[in-house]
Amino acid sequence: MARLRWLTAGESHGPCLVGILEGIPAGLPLRAGDIDRELARRKLGHGRGGRMRIEKDRAKVLSGVRHGRTTGAPIALLIENRDWENWRETMDPWEAPAGYRPVTVPRPGHADLAGAMKYGHPDLRDVIERASARETAMRVALGAVAKGLLSELGIGIASHVVRIKDVACQVDALGLPPEELNARADRSPVRCLDPKAEAEMIARIDEAAARGDSVGGTFEVVAAGVPPGLGSYVHWDRRLDGRIAQALMSIPGVKGVEIGLGFQVAERWGSEVQDELLWEGGIRRPTNRAGGLEGGVTNGEPILARAAMKPIPTLSRPLRSFDLKTHRPVPAHRERADVCAVPAAAVVGEAMLALVLADALLEAFPGDSLAQLREHLDKGRPLP
């Protein structure tokens, strides 16, 4: 059963995003800048569009935190959308402004058409506003609180970009402590650890922008210091590998998720896929091909997951579409768009991994207060 519950609400050009996180134990120290720092990291990355220059995201804490500590009550957060000032009338909850023209041309690769058919919206604006990845800002804010909890217990989460289109990072992040991995990735305009690949990635993004096109890529998320015993093999929906995959796949634009070797397992011999078990005064695995999860349970090794993001669907040289009203062919509707958002999606990936891990941690080691949680965690999961 989920120990951590969270919900977000808010439209891309509405007044704000709101989020509620319930289940965080009491007594967790939080600093004022912890959430905003993560929000700033989500805006990083070469290839972001004009929106990122408008939004200076700050999370207002409405409840659940007092004098720098969580109280155990639901944590409610609010992030204002500065762009709303320009959209007040379009987004008015009560009436459409005079001369308002609904959006009737769906963008290929977006929720526009499928969402309109599902909810019966004649104005695609009703789909666009909520399906927009603007919502991921709140995921990052809530994830920052989950990250704070994990960090207090020695669990670090980091990410980096391993591919943009055909350019692959040749530097392995394995072994880098999460804080250092993030510090290095955040210094790069594409959050890549390999300076040679970084230059080529930037060139590829610039080339896409010049062509009126877009590019995608792959990012890796890592969690280190994870105790064994999170998740379970006893039922499909308790497997933590499945829960992590769902969380990463839910990020807009993500089309593939791998854990450990991922799709490479299909090409290798069995002996090249499993991790051997050694006893050297303690458990030692010479390899971590499983990415920290065996049978859907954490095994004490770092968790390694990768997600592939498709190229941004809104193109400045629009794709073909048709008008819902007239059925006439027209170029796709354009919104202000990023050319590449893989570096930002990686930061969202960290938040999603943090929320799933915090939930699984509280499930395995419950605690109403941080002190209780620590007590349970210290007992750990010893060898039987």
Ligand X SMILES: Cc1cc2nc3c(=O)[nH]c(=O)nc-3n(C[C@H](O)[C@H](O)[C@H](O)COP(=O)(O)O)c2cc1C
Q: Which residues pair with 284 in a beta bridge?
A: 278
- Residue 299 touching ligand X (CB under 6 A): no
User: Quick count: other Cβ atoms within 10 Å of Cβ 336?
Assistant: 12
User: Quick count: other Cβ atoms within 10 Å of Cβ 154?
Assistant: 11
| Interatomic CA distance for residues 345 and 252, integer angstroms | 8
Give the nearer residue to ligand X in terms of CB position, either 231 or 349.
Answer: 349
| Interatomic CA distance for residues 232 and 220, integer angstroms | 23
262 backbone φψ class: left, alpha, beta (φ>0; ψ -120 to 50): left
Give the nearer residue to ligand X in terms of CB position, either 30 or 133.
Answer: 133
Stretch that binds ligand X, among 59-67, 224-232, 335-343, 352-360 (CB under 6 A): 335-343
- Residue 314 touching ligand X (CB under 6 A): yes
Size of the site for ligand X (CB under 6 A): 20
Return the SS3 of 109.
coil
| Interatomic CA distance for residues 251 and 138, integer angstroms | 12
Give the nearer residue to ligand X in terms of CB position, either 59 or 251.
Answer: 251
Q: Which residues pair with 257 in a beta bridge?
A: 307
Per-residue tokens: 200: 């080529």
Q: Cβ(36)–Cβ(59) under 8 Å?
A: yes
Smallest distance from ligand X to CB 232, Å: 28
Query: Measuring CA to CA, which residue among 179, 225, 263, 163 is closest to residue 171?
Result: 163
Candidate residues 253, 260, 291, 367; the one interacting with ligand X per rule CB under 6 A? 253
Q: Cβ(173)–Cβ(224) under 8 Å?
A: no
Binding mask 36-75 for ligand X (x = CB under 6 A): -------------x--------------------------
Under rule CB under 6 A, which residues in 135-154 are in contact with ligand X? 136
- Residue 182 touching ligand X (CB under 6 A): no
Give the nearer residue to ligand X in terms of CB position, either 290 or 312.
Answer: 312
Candidate residues 24, 202, 345, 346; the one interacting with ligand X per rule CB under 6 A? 345
By the 10 Å C-beta count (0-12 exposed, 13-18 middle, 19+ buried), 197 is classed as: buried
**Tokens 């995921």 appear where?**
139
Candidate residues 4, 209, 312, 352; the one interacting with ligand X per rule CB under 6 A? 312
Binding mask 90-129 for ligand X (x = CB under 6 A): -------------------xxx------------------
- Residue 205 touching ligand X (CB under 6 A): no
Give the nearer residue to ligand X in terms of CB position, either 181 or 348.
Answer: 348
Give the phi and the psi of residue 367 in degrees, each rounded to 5. Answer: -175, 130
Candidate residues 105, 181, 348, 354; the one interacting with ligand X per rule CB under 6 A? 348
Stretch that binds ligand X, among 22-30, 198-206, 245-253, 326-334 (CB under 6 A): 245-253
Contact footprint for ligand X (CB under 6 A): 49, 109-111, 131, 133, 136, 251-253, 310, 312-314, 337-338, 341, 344-345, 348
